Structure 1
Amino acid sequence: MKFKNHILVGVLLMVNVFVFAQYGKQKKADILFNKFSFVKAANEYRELIENNYNKDYATRRLADCYAYLRDPRNAARYYKKAVEQVNVPIEYYYSYAQALRGIKDYKNSRIWLERFKDSGGVINANDFEKDVNFITSVFNAKQQYFLDKVRFNSKFSDFGAFEQNGKIYFASSRDEGVSVKRLYGWNEQPFLDVYVADVGTKRNVDHTAKLKGDVNSIYHDGPVTITKDGNTMYFSRNNIDEHGLSKDKKGISNMKIYRATLRDSIWTDIEDLSINHSEYSTQHPALNKDDSKLYFSSDWPGGFGGSDIYVVDIKADGTLGVPTNLGNVVNTKKSEGFPFINNEGTLFFSSDGHPGLGLLDIFGTIQGENDEFVDVINLGIPINSNKDDFSFSMNPNGITGYFASNRTGGRGDDDIYAYHRVPTLQVEGIVSDAINTKPIANSIITLFNDKEEQIAYMVTDENGFYQINIDRNQDYKIVGSQIKYIDDYRTFTSKYLQTELTTITANLLLNPVQDVIKLAELNTIYFDYDKHNIRKDAALELDKIVSLMQNDYPDMVIRIESHTDSRGELSYNDKLSIDRANSTYEYLISKGINPSRITEHEGFGERRLTNGCEDGAKCEEKDHQLNRRTQFIVVKME
């Protein structure tokens, strides 16, 4: 009988392992989604749908993935399922309309745009008429980026901010505080140098913060990128030789990418790379996650426009392969530059050739199954403005970073801006039975604000899972309800959270409602002294329990607890109580009760006496009889 009980426990454990495994898979999918890794995220969401875990949420996210991957047919397919969901956010009406536009189903697109508008959504006047890029429309539906102050900008040009190991590297023409100033003829500003400062510095960064070593010359130097081990730097610099500036046939000194090595805290051993050419510019170096590829921009002949973005392999010995143009999804007839690769392999760059808000705008790329580029996305306001916006970088957390702009309101010419992304914040959890830890499907979840006003309402899925989008900087209370259980609630706050945090977990445990009338029918049975056989009076009570469980409450689950009086050795009484529990269990099973409906049958010996009849106490037989008993605990009531 114990073996059967162990099987039941094992099944419960397997159920819980499955639920939490799927919960982990969803968190992984969300992390990939928030870092632009839409192909991998889509694979995870599809598996969640196949496993029937939080299916509504996974369906909405999968639809978004296809939208970002410029696959309007599949996007429309899953958005159609999303808009059929109960309490679906109304922005999915808009997303569905845009996906339908992507497959040229303009009639139904108009219907869903109208539905979005009727539900309270705001529609621009030209949304019905312009054949806009539906991916950009979806992406820019809600502001994701917010600007933070940078206190070390100067009145000159500052850009190319790159953060690593608590330091920020950037290029600047702030060559002040020195006796000899060299001015760049084009804009009458000092030449660019590379500076380094502590992240978050609030002090003025002057010439004393110039990068130590041989990187800075008397001409333009920067911006830079550094390998993950911190030992190798790639940087832009004017084409110079032992005689000074080296110029092309038109009298222009083009840019080159050089490599430096860190030795004894000094950047030295400057190398001219094989990809450089004296007649064309090669600049804006960027490395991928494992430092195996170098991205850059160049105006080499044979490209698509003014300057294009290229990539070249970095071999194990440091030599470079043959550069490859990234193609016409990224590059246009105009100029592309300042590439940056985040930790998820997403390329960001600046361009004045893709549709934007002003001059140079910053774009992100979308890649397909085979890492091919399928589309670009304008990062929107406030990253982009009506002026030049460029030199975008993102820190490994995927949340913070920098870019530069010459927009109105800055301190100088080009200024560095810091940003942080605010991903959607959600509260999620699993509602479980407090007795057997099984998830409770179809539980009602109600979310209240700090004024006790209801702001959200939903029902858990078949795995007891719920997830609700919430605002930051708020206090909340969440309540779980089920008609057969006692409510449980949690209070939590979304105040003072790190921006990187996207999920608050609030699991709920519901205790079964215990019906006094039903419990009254589960009478305690008693045993003779030093016996564990079922007496006739006990059999009558057990038959009542069998009838109750088989006929009136076919889903009732119970637990058996057996006891002895205090007479005899402790160890003997422990065994005797177990025998009594087994006899009770076997009697019920013999009458047709399914073993799975008895979660446990345990003996507690003399440890739980109901009166004062302990060892040495003078008690009559009738008092000892009250301790020789088996009791029935209701675990689940249906």
Structure 2
Amino acid sequence: MLSLVVFAQEGKQKKADTLFNKFSFVKAAEVYQDLIENNYNKDYATRRLADCYAYLRNPNQASRYYKQVVQQENVPIEYYYKYSQALRGIKEYDESRIWLERFKDSGGITNTNDFDKDIDFITNVFNAKPQYFINKLNINTKFSDFGAIEHDGKIYFTSSRDEGVSIQRLYGWNEQPFLDVYVTSKDSKKQVDHTSKLKGDVNSIYHDGPVTITKDGRNMYFSRNNANNLGKEYDKKGISNVKIYRATFKDSIWTDIEDLSINNKEYSTQHPALSPDNKKLYFTSDMPGGYGGSDIYVVDINADGTLGTPKNLGNVVNTKNTEGTPFVNNEGSLFFASDGHMGIGLLDIFGTILDENGDITSVINLGVPINSNKDDFSFTMNTDGLTGYFSSNRQGGTGDDDIYSYNRVLLLSVKGTVTDAINTNPIPNAVVTLYDDKENKIADILTDEDGNYEINIDANKDYKVVASHVKYIDDYRVFTSKNLRALESVITANLILNPVQNVVKLAELNTIYFDFDTHYIRPDAALELDKIVNLMKNDYPEMVIRIESHTDSRGELSYNDKLSIDRANSTYEYLVSKGIDASRITEHQGFGERRLTNGCEDGETCEETDHQLNRRTDFIVVKME
């Protein structure tokens, strides 16, 4: 009898594992629960049961059983991380941090710098001022609804609703109907049921969706279970993976379905998204060679419709966990869902920061209310850059996954650092003043001890920012908050201040003079310059100077500007030729007739000796040591 009981329990565990490996988590959970109640291989069954609830996106039940799992002897350390994730899903953030620390201390986190940097992430996110305001849509049902995009006044989305049909086929993962693609007018009040299914050949008897559509409306890329005329195709493990297909809009329906070269029955390719120019296809895949569970890839779309070689987006975006549902907005910024980057729930939505070359340099969590303690994913943005859709299974929804719309209010600021032009040190207590394009003062602020400042600004305006300090000459920058990329919420405007002209003026540095209408160094000027060379080489080896050259008022203003620049250049070249390091001369500038030393302006009668006083080069000491 005992042998028969043991044999029966072994059979149940084998059945549960088979269901689990085929992603039938609802049925697998029932069998693992039965094994636990019969105390058969209880530790193993508890781990599997917790994993079932994690895959079913039920953090309440998952955390309940993971709590038991982490008390087991010799438990694999990845369960510390799984428990931490489940605790985030029920907003137990302090407890989640404890188990994330345990995971790190056990060797689960190798990059401790990133971990320590992000440890206060939750506090920072909830204290941040929200930029997004959300609304639930009336197209949601008790089933799974997600992946909404807007195209030509219509909303396309994916749903497991199959209400109104006589026969329903259920998916073993969650016991819901298979997914199909639906379309409805953006402003429609009509109920979205089976009559709103996308017309044509995109929907099949298996999973279909989500979709993306080219700007010209001619092609649609969509996800679908790998299948042929005989039914599903399976990989070596008996799993029917997902592929991306392309459909063409012809005679008012979507037809001519094409299998793409990036597909392979041994792994999944799904969640298609297009670049703004429709020349690149972004997608999710668990193909070999990635960083973790699923990664985001990009592939070129050639002019003839063929595809190039997929390229992994790298470890700035991808982690050892799950990344998916990519979307690229009009400015080229990528948005995606991940449970591998530091977040506030299970799947969180992230955006990317681009450098001036369009390369991804970092990712940023979109914060609340876009993200919640549950799954948040399938973020899309309309062409206005301020509205769009995302999906979530958060509390308060209509059913499983729900579609939400959002509108975005930009929170912008200008920030920068004020530094000394000579030694590049930060300047604390400098006054930074913000002006609008009509020179109206908006705000002013003092720089901190590191020379930093930050001022809030409005969108779609032109500004000027000015830095001033009693020991320095003012500096300014003009900038605009128009046409910013989606995640460009901070504009950088660094300011560099030169010491005031009369910081130090040594008697030994005599002014040199030029003949009328020339820039050549006279013999008497050469003697003075040699004194300066000796002073800089022997007496003050750390001294740094600035050269300023001038003309008298005779001649055209533009001509005098050029003549003074030539005089400054001649002086600079002479000093360098005598062995003075060029780095010790910060500037050599010409000011033309703009800084006369006397009243000999245009129209005034002056002696030649008076004009001579204006044809000069001054030497300003800006640093002694």
TM-score, normalised via structure 2 length: 0.48
TM-score, normalised via structure 1 length: 0.47
